[in-house]
Structure 1
Amino acid sequence: MINLEQMDLILEALPDPAFILSRSGKYVAVFGGRDTRYYHDGTGLIGLYISDVIKPEKANWFLEQIARALESRKLVVEEYELSNRDVKGLDDDGPKDPIWFEGRIQALSFLVDDEEVVLWVASNISERHNLEGKLRELSDTDQLTGLFNRRKLEHDLTLHYESWLRYSIPTSIFMFDLDNLKKINDTKGHHAGDEIIQAVANICRTTIRKADTACRFGGDEFVVALPNTGHEQAMQFAQRLHERIREELRQFSVEGTSVTASIGVTTMLTTDRSYEDTLKRADRALYDAKSLGKDRIVLV
């Protein structure tokens, strides 16, 4: 049998910190947190309230999770971040990267000072969270250009289409590919073609807004999604991009042949059954731009 003294030693040896917290947010007890790579000594919190330590918005979130656990009597698991902006008394100029935790909150079957209490175990998951973020970024990114890939585009267009259906927030799309790239590849080699595609990616990055999604759709074909943008503004964006491509890719000209762009532009319509209908219409407009002689914009 384990006696009380031994149980205290076991609790103190826990690598992750375990807090006993009251419904009102009082730190009743703190155990563990012995992995000094991730945690500081939390015993100084005992007797304080979450609102004494954490700024109001985040403190209210903690209290909400405590209430959820007490009312459901089930284990509540939540991931959350804490940074210098959340903790009272810390300089806002401190480390900008937040620390990510997984909180496991369970109601306990006794009272402390006539208040319900929970056990809150906090595990530092920052390394895992950062790794997951990097993996998501890799899965969403085209390796050659650093632009988003088709997978990310389809995800964003799905959300934009839902916004269009629910709130009538328009999203425009322009699809473009590069004219005469094959001749450059045949003359200078595929490394020159890669340089051109990378140059176009840089033009996209410096032309579009933060809310927009620029994607390498495949080969020398690109798609840009412009949320909250109607026909007229989308056309302005396309014209700006078209001119920049024409100007900045002149350096890659071969025997009087320049790399230019053919662009198809469209906006989500009430008749579209999905974002795919919009994308197909942009593709048809691009085909028309090619058929009419390249180096032009077709709006449909």
Structure 2
Amino acid sequence: EVNTDVEDGPLNPIWFEGRIQKLDFLVDGEEVVLWMASNITERHDMEAKLRELSDTDQLTGLFNRRRLERDLISHYKAAQEQFIPTSIVAFDLDNLKTINDTLGHYVGDEVIMAIGHICRAGLNGDAIACRFGGDEFVVALPNVELEQAMVFADLLHERCEAHFNRFFAKSLASIIGVSIGIAEILATDTSYEMALKRADDALYQAKRGGKNRTMVG
């Protein structure tokens, strides 16, 4: 007979901490230990939340530079040891200084927050987007080669333009753009910083080349 009153159990994981202590007496001639289990779910969840906050940019909700660097170290090792490609997309906002100077930093912050929304909505899998600093952002795309990263950059341009045109005044949307630089971690790279620098250099080539475009490094 099936007991239909029995619940299926907790909806979320429960975490326990186990401790083992050897006792100084024998039971039936055998050494024994005392095993104690403590429910540490609340502490575990709090620690996970603190780790998340330490890795998150508060304005955009994206990851911060600290988290990016940690992930890129892992992706670099995967590229070198397992030949798993990773592309890096670096981009920043065009004419943000003009927006800040003419309309105020509050409006500038709204534009930066919009980038956070666009990135969160457009990423999947192991890809992460980070606010690198100021108005510069970096997206790490594991398992993505350069040609696929260029497709991603095109989509990023399209999504930014559509979002700006939809949510900002025409006079503001007309001057906002994103300049993008792309690079792939290569077998000849001695660190992930080499690929990141190529992407950053390509970004500034896009700036010098007229803004609101993509360059490959």
TM-score (norm 1): 0.65
| Number of the residue aligned with 1:179 | 94
Q: Secondary structure at the match of 1:182?
A: helix
| Number of the residue aligned with 1:197 | 112
Equivalent position to 1:240, from 149, 155, 177: 155
Matched AA of 1:264:
G
* Structure 2 contact 179–214 (Cα < 8 Å) conserved: yes
Change (3 A) 1:162 1:115: farther
| Number of the residue aligned with 1:157 | 72
Change (3 A) 1:183 1:257: farther
| Number of the residue aligned with 1:41 | none
| Number of the residue aligned with 1:292 | 209
Deviation at 1:106, TM superposition (A): 3.9
| Number of the residue aligned with 1:188 | 103
User: Which has the bigger relative contact order, CA under 8 A and spacing at least 6?
Assistant: 2
Equivalent position to 1:269, from 176, 186, 195: 186
Matched AA of 1:254:
S
Q: Distance between the aligned counterparts of 2:190 and 2:7, measured in 1?
A: 51
> 2:124 matched to 1:213?
no
Matched AA of 1:261:
V
Q: Secondary structure at the match of 1:206?
A: helix
What are the Cα deviations for residues 134-154 of structure 1, in whole angstroms up to 9, with x where unaligned? 110110000101100000000
Q: Distance between the aligned counterparts of 1:256 and 1:117, measured in 2?
A: 73
Matched AA of 1:170:
P
With 123-132 and 189-198 compared, the bigger mean Cα shift is at 123-132
Deviation at 1:97, TM superposition (A): 1.8
Equivalent position to 1:226, from 124, 141, 145: 141
1:77-116 to 2 correspondences below 5 Å: 91=8, 94-106=9-21, 110=26
1:35-74 to 2 correspondences below 5 Å: none
Q: Distance between the aligned counterparts of 2:145 and 2:64, measured in 1?
A: 24
Percent of aligned pairs with the same residue?
59
Deviation at 1:252, TM superposition (A): 4.4
Deviation at 1:208, TM superposition (A): 1.3
Equivalent position to 1:141, from 56, 63, 67: 56
Q: Secondary structure at the match of 1:120?
A: strand
Change (3 A) 1:242 1:115: farther
Q: Secondary structure at the match of 2:130?
A: strand
* Structure 2 contact 164–173 (Cα < 8 Å) conserved: no
| Number of the residue aligned with 2:199 | 282
Q: Secondary structure at the match of 1:249?
A: helix
Structure 1 segments unaligned to the other structure (5+ residues)? 1-88
Q: Secondary structure at the match of 1:119?
A: strand
Q: Distance between the aligned counterparts of 1:144 and 1:157, measured in 2?
A: 22
Q: Distance between the aligned counterparts of 2:214 and 2:172, measured in 1?
A: 25
Deviation at 1:258, TM superposition (A): 2.0
Matched AA of 1:216:
R
Matched AA of 2:138:
V
Change (3 A) 1:255 1:199: closer
> 2:171 matched to 1:254?
yes
Structure 2 segments unaligned to the other structure (5+ residues)? 1-5
Question: Which of structures 1 and 2 has the bigger CA Rg?
Answer: 1
* Structure 1 contact 180–257 (Cα < 8 Å) conserved: no
* Structure 1 contact 249–258 (Cα < 8 Å) conserved: no
Q: Distance between the aligned counterparts of 2:173 and 2:196, measured in 1?
A: 33
| Alpha-carbon RMSD | 2.0
* Structure 2 contact 91–137 (Cα < 8 Å) conserved: yes
Q: How many residues get paired?
A: 209
